[in-house]
Structure 1
């Protein structure tokens, strides 16, 4: 069986490795083009490309898969099955129709919940206790295809998008390992999704990143860890963007008098204590504008401006950002 694998970030690499380890005939890997990264904008290949080239597998990097010339290259690969995992582009019908065994996707949510491009971020930002991976058949709709297999994982308060990204990446690859033999042998009975239960997880935008201090302490806590390690939650301090990378909830979380949400109540060796809509949250790791990420307690020492801060209060900064 000729398999074409499609994926881009580090999340996809374990699934590609499983295909290689199990001896499947991976005739090509399709991934996104190399992109500039870092402050020096160095052209960097996607992790899946690096993994594929290490095993001598041909790599195809179309800017747009929908272009006729890209579809023709896909046709020349003559795939019997296409396996995708976080590829990053929607597959057109002309590609979906190529393999006799269809196209399957390793998706990082328990479908039909969190269809779309950022399921891990949204599951943590929403405070879900569990998430998982679904392998499904692909069709023209956005993650609407019939479900083949699932695995469920817990989300703890210690988890962030980064930790769940790693856990779900491995869980998805192992689910692929156990699912493929039955799929290829025709022993799979796929389950249609209940569209009435569907929710969506669109890609993260600037509005998702801005902290609303009137939310509950738990809500801010979930937002911060849901945006760690990328792209990061932020507020405004002294009219400039102020990133918040990590936070924690105090053991006893009570409203601090009549302080407005966003008010810095005090600082200590734990970090920066900030009022929210229903209690206090402690900022643990922050990043002022123009500086590297640092421990909040270290920034707070002797910083009188910080002691008098009300985060998110600068409308001028918000207007300039827009």
Structure 2
């Protein structure tokens, strides 16, 4: 079974390495030379060079020259793991077995953008690792493999990222022989259950101390590394916040946003319902007790 691989992030690299470990026949790889969009960008070219795999740096996966190159490799199936733009009809129909994509949610729930970030920001307790056959819509094709996983209170963006990588590698090991032997099962999604998460923007990462402590905690852990980080607007600048802790604080007559403690490079700030301690941040000078954020 000849596989054409598309990807450009750390998840892509790890899954490509797994396929190679399983002695898959990778006939070509499409990736990007750089990416300002993907904070978890990974260059797949070095892995291709070591393993003598043809590769192509591309910007537009649907461009004519890209399609021509992929056709010349005559893949039986295309794997698209970690690519941020939609694949159009011509490429979807190019390989006889279609295009397998990946989305780390319990499809048909939570289609759309930034799935790991939204899951943490919304405080979800469970999600899933899902491989599916791509169609022209967003994340709406038949499911090939789906494994649920728990989201713990202690989880953050990096731990969830690692969790879905580990689960997905086990899934690949399970479904790859099924694809080769044509014994796989396609499960149709119930579109009536679907929702689509929106694309996040800068304002979605702002910490507003009118929020309750739990919401702030979830926002910070959702956007921490490898992502861009949540931020506070302070004295005309954006200050990245990487880690916080919820603190019990019972006084209800203290305004939200007031700095309650500031020492040893940590800050405690009043929230709507309690308080938050900022543990890892990029403040050049710590705000003083009594200031407002």
Fold match, TM over 0.5?
Answer: yes
> Using the alignment, how far apart are the partners of 1:175 and 1:157 within structure 2?
25
Query: Following superposition of structure 1 onto structure 2, how do residues 237-276 of structure 1 map, counting pairs within 5 Å?
Result: 237-250=234-247, 253-268=248-263, 271-276=266-271
1:7 corresponds to = 7
Q: Once the 2 structures are TM-superposed, how far is the Cα of residue 53 of structure 1 from its aligned partner?
A: 2.3
Query: Following superposition of structure 1 onto structure 2, how do residues 128-167 of structure 1 map, counting pairs within 5 Å?
Result: 128-167=124-163
Q: Once the 2 structures are TM-superposed, how far is the Cα of residue 35 of structure 1 from its aligned partner?
A: 4.3
Q: Deviations over 1:230-278 (max 9, x none)?
A: 211111222322221100112xx24433222211122355931111111
2:31 corresponds to = 31
> Using the alignment, how far apart are the partners of 2:36 and 2:99 within structure 1?
30
- Between Structure 1 and Structure 2, how many residues are aligned? 289
1:66 aligns with 2:62: yes
1:95 corresponds to = 91
What secondary structure sits across from 1:112 in the alignment?
coil
1:283 aligns with 2:278: yes
1:232 aligns with 2:214: no
> Using the alignment, how far apart are the partners of 2:251 and 2:46 within structure 1?
52
RMSD across aligned C-alpha pairs, in angstroms?
A: 2.0
> Using the alignment, how far apart are the partners of 1:11 and 1:241 within structure 2?
29
What secondary structure sits across from 2:170 in the alignment?
helix
> Using the alignment, how far apart are the partners of 2:146 and 2:9 within structure 1?
21
Structure 1 residue ranges without an equivalent (≥5): 38-44, 292-298, 312-322
Q: Once the 2 structures are TM-superposed, how far is the Cα of residue 91 of structure 1 from its aligned partner?
A: 1.1
> Using the alignment, how far apart are the partners of 1:266 and 1:116 within structure 2?
40
TM (norm. structure 2) is 0.92
